[in-house]
Structure 1
Amino acid sequence: MRHFSRNPPGSTLDARNWSRADVLVLNVTYEALCEIPAERAVVLISVGAAETVADREPPFPIRSQHVEIRLPQTIRLLRYVYVQHSVLVTDSSRATFAGVFRRDRNRCGYCAEPVATTIDHVLPRSRGGPNTWANLVACCVPCNQRKADRTPEEAGMPLLWEPKAPRHIEKAQRQIWRDLAAV
């Protein structure tokens, strides 16, 4: 998620600028959705459409004649909002070797042994195989040497799983849960 803060970090809030401060909005499932102006967040809280997850520090009270609400840093919607997620990384995106090891959990794509220390190009580089998520698998040294400069079919070594791009939404969700646990 991109962060386009209208108030730079460390700027002080006052009666004139508090409404332009950014507030993170979470879905019911604690999935980050977007950032909205604090004025809109206060309205969502006051009408019962959202609840405060984390208050802004130092505390900044928003007062009306009958109500006082502390300015939130993060709010959570009380009804689920369906958002179709766009895929930022595709199977044809360029992959990193560290990312491939992480995705495959250091397991060889041909024998499943948890000792993969090399990366194999499913379609060999000598035949134009790219460094993409769909063309790279973690591989142990014996399997990589046995496959050599051939495709898995030519080498008689079928892949145990189809290499795909990792799912970054799940990674972002785990980070949100870690941040909430620290609050």
Structure 2
Amino acid sequence: MHRPPTAITARTWMNTRVRVLNVTYEDFDVVPAARAVVLLNEELAITLVEHTPRFVVRSQHVAIPLPHTIQLLEYVHTPPRPAIDDDARASFAAVLARDHHRCAYCGQPGARTVDHVFPKSRGGGDHYGNLVAACSDCNGRKADRTPEEADMPLLWVPRAPRTDQKRQQAIWRELAPTT
């Protein structure tokens, strides 16, 4: 569900969120627009993508187009984030979000339950590689059997979400020159 951009006014521009990239174009943070404007004004960052619709932040001596994405001009070291792998413990909400609420057995949207691929009653764990979104009908039909025993093959292999990689790919697409 994509919402149309809302009009920005002199009273609301500060509520806008701005993506910050490190000098290496790696995703760094999301900050309030007021902080981004300070970074631009202090010449610590440059604007890579302007906000759409265009809005100019003005003061007595400065006019800065509101940015959508900025890049820092000096490298800022960030500690590596812990890797989330298929054996990491998963919450049911995270599994439903990862699978976009689509049943892993029938493919129908609107799944509201989570199924253990290898049943919990038989030692299956609560980790990303063993949990899938499932509609109530499929979850009940599979019961405490494996997909093979229930003759219900999975439509995809459950894996840990790769949100950092997906976000970085989205950044590369956004910054790619259009021809």
What range is the shorter-chain TM-score in?
Answer: 0.5 to 0.7
Q: Name the aligned partner's letter for residue 66 of structure 1.
A: H
Where structure 2 has 5 or more consecutive residues not aligned to the other structure, the ranges are: 96-121, 131-158
In the TM superposition, 1:1-183 aligns within 5 A as: 10-84=5-79, 85-92=81-88, 169-182=164-177
Size of the alignment, in residue pairs?
Answer: 127
- Give the C-alpha shift of residue 13 in structure 1: 0.9
Aligned-partner Cα distance in 2 for 1:129–1:170:
28
- Give the C-alpha shift of residue 47 in structure 1: 0.2
For the pair shown, the structure with the greater C-alpha radius of gyration is 1
Where structure 1 has 5 or more consecutive residues not aligned to the other structure, the ranges are: 1-7, 96-126, 136-163
Aligned-partner Cα distance in 2 for 1:56–1:68:
14
Percent pairwise identity: 44
Q: Name the aligned partner's letter for residue 35 of structure 1.
A: V
In structure 2, relative to structure 1, the CA distance for the partners of 1:167 and 1:23 (3 Å cut) is: closer
Q: Name the aligned partner's letter for residue 71 of structure 1.
A: L
- Verify the 8 A CA contact 2:84 2:160 in the aligned structure 1: no
- Give the C-alpha shift of residue 131 in structure 1: 10
In structure 2, relative to structure 1, the CA distance for the partners of 1:133 and 1:46 (3 Å cut) is: same
- Verify the 8 A CA contact 2:7 2:53 in the aligned structure 1: no
> If the length of structure 2 is used for normalisation, what is the TM-score?
0.53
Aligned-partner Cα distance in 2 for 1:33–1:69:
22
In structure 2, relative to structure 1, the CA distance for the partners of 1:50 and 1:72 (3 Å cut) is: same
Q: Which residue is equivalent to 2:104?
A: none
- Verify the 8 A CA contact 2:5 2:53 in the aligned structure 1: no
In structure 2, relative to structure 1, the CA distance for the partners of 1:80 and 1:90 (3 Å cut) is: farther
Q: Name the aligned partner's letter for residue 72 of structure 1.
A: P
